[in-house]
Amino acid sequence: MAKRHTPVLEGAVMTGEGLSYKGVIMEPVVEKCDGCERIVAVEDSKYCPSYAQPERKWAQGVCNFATHVRASVDSEGKTKVNPLKASKRAARGR
Ligand code: SF4
């Protein structure tokens, strides 16, 4: 028997305001989320099950739930975004 994937965002419903999940309106992921393994596609949009408002998450710096990048602070105290080495997928050529 094939393994069944646990549905993520199960029970989410599309409303006039957007995707509603457990009473929270989920906003689609932003460009910076691209490559993150947490992204879930619902209908024609992509959402983050970890954070309802990805845009706000990134507005504060680097998303700390991201699986594809990690923030580090350089010697001048500036935050840098470092792509993580992909173990499962080839991240080259992007
Ligand atoms: S965990 Fe962060 S980077 Fe990944 S999809 Fe969610 S908001 Fe975007």
* Of 3-7, 41-45, 58-62, 79-83, minimum mean pLDDT range: 3-7
Q: What is the mean pLDDT of the chain?
A: 86
Among the listed residues 37, 38, 17, the one whose alpha carbon sits nearest the alpha carbon of residue 27: 17
Answer whether 9's CB lies under 8 Å from 26's CB.
Answer: yes
- State the pLDDT at residue 86: 63
When pLDDT is averaged across residues 31-58 and rounded to a whole number, the result is: 95
Average pLDDT estimate for 55-73: 91
Which one-letter DSSP state was computed for residue 33? G
Residue located nearest, by CA, to atom 8 of ligand 1: 33
At 3-35, the pLDDT tens digits run 665 578 999 999 999 999 999 999 999 999 999
Burial of 33 (0-12, 13-18, 19+ CB in 10 A): buried
- Spacing, Cα 4 to ligand 1 middle (Å): 24
Burial 41-63 (b: 16+ CB within 10 A, else e): ebeeebbbbbbbbbeebbeeebb
Any atom of ligand 1 within 6 Å of the Cβ of 57: yes
